[in-house]
Amino acid sequence: MTKPKGSTAKSDRTRLAIESAARELFASYGFERTTVREIARVAGIDASMIIRYFGSKDALFALVAMPDLRLPDLGEVDRGKIGETLVRHFIEQWEGSEGGGGLPILLRSASSNDDAAKKLAEIFAAQVLPALARAGDPATAANRAGLVATQILGLALTRYVLKLPPVVAMSIEQLVDDVGATIQRYGTGER
């Protein structure tokens, strides 16, 4: 084993440095184009340490690409402001520090990595779907969650991954207004 009994070891700093570098590079370049040597360079240690600490590149990716969307309880927010609430929640998380909670990391790699795509699907099934089940007829929850996914992931893709100029240029408030109205309609099932 590589792990001692306690967690007060001096090596925890290295461990965190590796995780931090991995998060940054995976988010910027995706899984395939991020090399363990580059992660090691940013973390300031040797590439072989990464294997010893985490077992493999895949294991390290699986560890840092576990997004927790931290969705609010939609049963407690104003029925008419579900869309606005959701969009603001996502944007503020993405705009915030440390890679926006891991979802951009997954999104970067999901297009060319089947495991990442599968994990993204699980995230939506496990977090978005149950949250939306409380915001309308549970029988149509999967349908509504799918529509929400097309718009939320499309927003994340164009603004943070592709960086399409007109989408990047828009203010948070405008996005909350325009996209929020769409999510409101998709999420609740209202016409």
Partner DNA sequence: TGCCTTTGTCAACGACTGTTGGCAAATAGT
Partner DNA sequence: ACTATTTGCCAACAGTCGTTGACAAAGGCA
Binder of a copy of itself out of 19, 29, 51, 62 (CB under 8 A): 29
The piece of 52-60, 72-80, 90-98, 108-116 that touches a copy of itself (CB under 8 A) is 108-116
Q: Which residues contact 190 (CB under 8 A, 6 or more apart)?
A: 184
The residues, any chain, with a CB within 8 Å of residue 108's CB and separated by 6 or more, are: 26, 27, 28, 29, 30, 31, 161
- Looking at the Cβ atoms of 50 and 157, the one nearer to DNA is 50
**Residue 32 binds a copy of itself, judged by CB under 8 A:** yes
| 97 HSE (CA, 13 A, CB side) | 1
The yes or no reply on residue 36 touching DNA (CB under 7 A) is yes
- Interaction mask 150-169, a copy of itself, x per CB under 8 A: xxxxxx-xxx-xxxxxxx-x
Among 53, 24, 27, residue whose Cα is nearest residue 39:
24
Closest CA to 85 of 188, 190, 184: 184
CB distance 154 to 185 below 8 Å: no
Q: Do 105 and 62 meet the contact criterion of CB atoms below 8 Å apart?
A: no
**What x/- string results for residues 43 through 62 when contact with DNA is judged by CB under 7 A?**
-xxxxxxxxx---xxx----
Indicate whether 4 belongs to the interface with DNA (CB under 7 A). Answer: yes
Closest to a copy of itself by CB, 43 vs 128, is: 128
Residues 160 and 95: their CA atoms lie apart, in Å, by: 9
Q: Which residues of this protein are in contact with a copy of itself, per CB under 8 A?
A: 29-30, 32-33, 107-112, 117, 120-121, 124-125, 142-143, 145-147, 149-155, 157-159, 161-167, 169-170, 178-179, 181-182, 185-186
Q: Which residues of this protein are in contact with DNA, per CB under 7 A?
A: 1-2, 4, 9-11, 14, 34-38, 44-52, 56-58
